[in-house]
Amino acid sequence: RDEQRTTTTLRHAAPTPAPAAAPKPQGKISHVTSRRETAAAAPSACDAFLAAIIKAQDSSHASFAAALREINAGRKSSHWIWYVWPSHKEVRRTSRPEYALPHSSFAVAWLRHPVLGHRLLEITSSACKHLESGLAARTLFGSAVDVDKFAECMAVFLVAAEHQQPPLEESAAICRKALLLLDRPGAHEGAHEVATREMA
């Protein structure tokens, strides 16, 4: 009977509830969210590049203001061309590669920037006035190398301006004028080809 009672008791006993599942750790999800938020908050490569250009142009040594004074006076005499009329990294190696355009799309952002775009047009317009007056390009830019750098820069910015919808007409017109005044097609053909390929 004792065995029968025990068996009956076991048959009618309420089933033991299964242990509650342990909560899933949230640390990994929080970590992913944090990384996404950080990525969203971080400046883009283009923003960081333009910020570095602004910082260089506003430096106390060889600033944009100094560059503009030199060009207005008719002769480049100090070292600032890397961050005023930049080279393209696929076209020319320079001693300051951190200021070279990584891609032609960066030239578009430069032209659209409220400070850098205005400065580029201002100093290029000044250079064009001297070239129109008959001043030799080598005298204006200080060396044959910098004449070629200027030509390459104008070619990249011209293509960048022309490939916008609608085109950046004022920028394109000044760059086109500068190249015509230089009359050195061989100096910028490579830059034009690279920019055209990248902006296609």
Integer angstrom CA distances of residue 184 from 151, 152, 153, 154: 8, 10, 13, 12
Name every residue whose Cβ is closer than 8 Å to that of residue 181 and which is 6 or more positions away in sequence. Answer: 128, 131, 132
DSSP conformational letter for 45:
H
Residue with tokens 């930049």: 86
Q: Under DSSP, is residue 88 helix (H, G, I), strand (E, B) or coil? A: strand
For the segment(s) 45-199, the CATH number from 3.40.920.10, 1.25.40.380, 1.10.260.40, 3.40.50.620 is: 1.25.40.380
Query: CB burial class (10 A; 0-12, 13-18, 19+) of residue 196?
Result: middle
What residue segments make up the domains of the chain, in order of their start?
A: 45-199
CB-CB contact of 140 with 130 (8 Å): yes
pLDDT at 134: 97
pLDDT tens by residue, the chain, 200 residues:
433 443 334 344 444 444 444 444 344 333 333 333 333 334 699 999 999 999 999 998 899 999 999 999 999 999 999 999 999 999 999 999 999 999 999 999 999 999 999 999 999 999 999 999 999 999 999 999 999 999 999 999 999 999 999 999 999 999 999 999 998 888 899 999 999 999 99
pLDDT at 43: 60
C-beta atoms surrounding 5 within 10 Å:
9
What is the distance in angstroms between the CA of the first residue and the CA of the last residue of the chain? 94
pLDDT at 96: 97
pLDDT at 22: 45
